[in-house]
Amino acid sequence: MRKAYLQIGALFLVLGWATGALGIETSLGNVNVNSHGYVNLGMTYGIAGKHHDTQEGFQSAVFNLLTENEFKFNRNIKAFVSAMLTGDLAYPILDNDRDWQDRGFDDSEDELYLDTDLRDLLQEAHMTWTPGNFFLRAGKQIVQWGEMDVFRIMDQINPLDQSRGIGDVEFETTILPLWLVRAEYYVPTSSNWLNDFGLEFVFNPNADFRPNRGLEIGNDVGGIWAPNVELGPGTVLGSFDDNIDEPDEWDSEGFDYAFRAKANIRDSLITFNYYYGRAHAPVRRVVGPPRITVAGDGVAEIHLPTEGHYPRIRNTGVTYTTDVPWMSSSALGGVAPAFRIEALYGFDTTFATALTNRFVKRDEFHWGIGVDWKIKLPILNERAYFYITPQITNRMIIDYPDQEPILSLEDDNYNASLLINTSYFHNKVIPSFVWARDITNKSDLWKYQVTYDPNSSWSFTAGALLFSGEGDGKGFDVFDNKDQLYANMTWKF
C-alpha cells in the first residue's frame, strides 16, 4: 500500500512538470477547470543536544503533495476538490537509528509516517452555489473566523493539525477540513454608510468527528514534537492511556452550529458571532494508577489512564477591523496601521482541574488585538516596506477556582506575538522574524527565516526555530529541547 502512495507521489511530480507554474486552465466541455498544486519537502535538524524528547541532528523530512482543482459548471455553480499526501521520510531513514529507537520515536510510525486515511488524503471536496445574494457551500471545507493570527479565539469551526509541529505559521495545511454546510445571504443595501451586510450560518452535521491532531504527549504518539513534561529526574509524562468519548458519526451530540452577521461599514469590517458546538480538544481526568515504562535511553515514562470527552462550548463574540488613516506618517512610508480586534465570551466552558482531577465549568472572556503596519526604513531597505504585525491576546477565566487550579491555565493568561518581514531583490528574497511570547508562563518561540523565490514555480526556505522557558513545564517550555534548523523546498504548479 505504501508503494501505491509513493506512486501517487510520482504522479504528482509528473503532473506538476507537465503543467508548469500556471497549473492547468482548461475546459472539459462546458466546464472550466483550474488546477494547481505543489510538492514540498522540509527537513529539520535538531540542535538542542541529546534529550529524551528530541532527536539530535536530522530528525524529520516532511513532504506534502497537494493538488487543488476547481470545476466551474456555470456562473453560479462550482466544485472544488483538493487532495494531499503527507508523510515524514525520517521514519524509513532513521528506522535503524539507535537513538531514534531508544527514544521511542519509531513507535509513532503508524501515526506519523504516512497520512493514508481517506480523511487525510481527501482535503476539501465541496460544491458551491451562488445565485444572486445567496451563497451555499456543502461538503468538506474550511471556514475561518476571527482576526488573530497564530492564536485562535473566534476561529473554532475547523480543528487544527499540528502533528508536524508548531513552527509553521502558514495555516493552510494545518487546518483540517470538515464536512459542513455553509450558507450566506447578503442583504441588499442602499445605505450610504453600510457598504455590505451579510448573514452566515454554518452547520456541522458530524459526518466524521474530527478533533485537533498533534502535539500529543509521548514520543510513541507525538513523535519528535511530543511536548516534554518532566515529572522528576529521569522521569517524564508519557502517552495517555486514553478513553475519550467521541460523538458518533451523524449523532446530534456532535452537531455544531455557528452564526455570524458581518458588515462592511465605511472603512471597517465588523462581525457578530455565535457558536455552539464541540471543542476540538478533549478534557481529561486520571482514573487509575499509572503505567510505567522505561525507554531505551533509560528515561521512565509515566502513562496515566484517563477518561474524558469533547465538551460542549457555547460562546458569542465580535470582531472589528479598521485602519486609521490619520496615523499614517509620510516619513515612514505613508501607510496607516490597520487594527484587528476580536473578543469572545464563553458560557460554561469545561476545564479540567490540575490537583483535584475534576471537570469544572466557568465562563471565560477571551480577547485579542492585532496591528498590521508597513513602514519604510530606507537605511535598511531602500525599496521595500517592512511589515510589522504585533498581537496581544488575553484569556480570562471568570470566577477562577483558586482552591483547585485549572490545568495549564491561570485566571488571567496573556500571549503576544510579533511578525516582521521585508523583501529584497524585487521580492525574491524575503527575510522574516516571528516571536511568540507566553507572557503568563514566561516562555518564548523565536523563528528566524529567509525565503528565496527565484520565480513563481520554486521556493526555498531556511531558518531556525528556537524555544525558551522557565523550566517549569508550562507554555513553550515543553518544547525547550526542540530547537532546530530547518530547510524547505517547494515546487508549485
Partner 1 sequence: MSTKKSPKSLTSMLTMFIALSTTTAGLAEDWPHPDTNRLNQAQIEKHKARYDDPRPYMNVIGPKQVLPADMYNKLSFDVTAMQKTWEEVVGFRAPDLVGKIAPEIKPGKYTYKDVQNNPAFKELMWPELYNRIRPGAPPHAGNIPEFEIVPTRQYYYSLPIAKETLKSYKDVQLDQDGYLKSETYKAGIPFPRPLGEHKGTQLVYNIWHRYEGFEKNYLMNSRFAGFNSKLELDFDGIIELDSMRLQGRCVMGPVGYYDQRAEANQEIFTLYQIYRAPRDNNGTVISGLYFSPGDKFDNLLLYLPSLRRARKLSTTDTQDPIGGSDVIYDDGGGWLTKLSKDRYPWKINVIEEREFLVPAPSIDGSEYISSEGLELRGMKFERRPMYVVDMIQQDPNYVYGKKRLYIDKETFNYASMENYDQKGRLYRTLDLTYGFFPEMGAFAWGPGFYLAKDHIDKHSTLYQPYNLPAYWTRVDMGMRVLIKKGK
Least distance from C-beta 14 to partner 1, angstroms? 17
Least distance from C-beta 415 to partner 1, angstroms? 19
Residue with cell 466557568: 362
- Comparison of 254 and 282: residue with beta carbon closer to partner 1: 254
Strands 178-186 and 194-204: antiparallel
- Comparison of 422 and 484: residue with beta carbon closer to partner 1: 422
Residues belonging to the chain: 493
Asked if residues 67 and 12 have their Cβ atoms less than 8 Å apart, the reply is: yes
- Comparison of 234 and 334: residue with beta carbon closer to partner 1: 334
Q: Which amino acid is at 358?
A: R
- Comparison of 133 and 356: residue with beta carbon closer to partner 1: 133
How many whole angstroms separate alpha carbon 139 and alpha carbon 180?
A: 6
- Comparison of 311 and 401: residue with beta carbon closer to partner 1: 311
Least distance from C-beta 352 to partner 1, angstroms? 22
Residue with cell 521556493: 459
Residue with cell 473566534: 154
How many whole angstroms separate alpha carbon 129 and alpha carbon 74?
A: 10
- Scored b (16 or more CB within 10 A) or e, 33-49 reads ebbbbbbbebbbbbbbe
Residue with cell 521520510: 89
Q: Which of 74, 86, 137 is nearest to 112 (CA)?
A: 86
- Comparison of 188 and 298: residue with beta carbon closer to partner 1: 188
- Comparison of 7 and 455: residue with beta carbon closer to partner 1: 455
Least distance from C-beta 323 to partner 1, angstroms? 4
Cell numbers that stand for 4 in this block? 501505491
Least distance from C-beta 66 to partner 1, angstroms? 9
Helix%, strand%, coil% for the chain, nearest 5 = 15, 50, 35
Least distance from C-beta 86 to partner 1, angstroms? 17
Residue with cell 445605505: 191
Least distance from C-beta 186 to partner 1, angstroms? 4
Cell numbers that stand for 221 in this block? 504518539
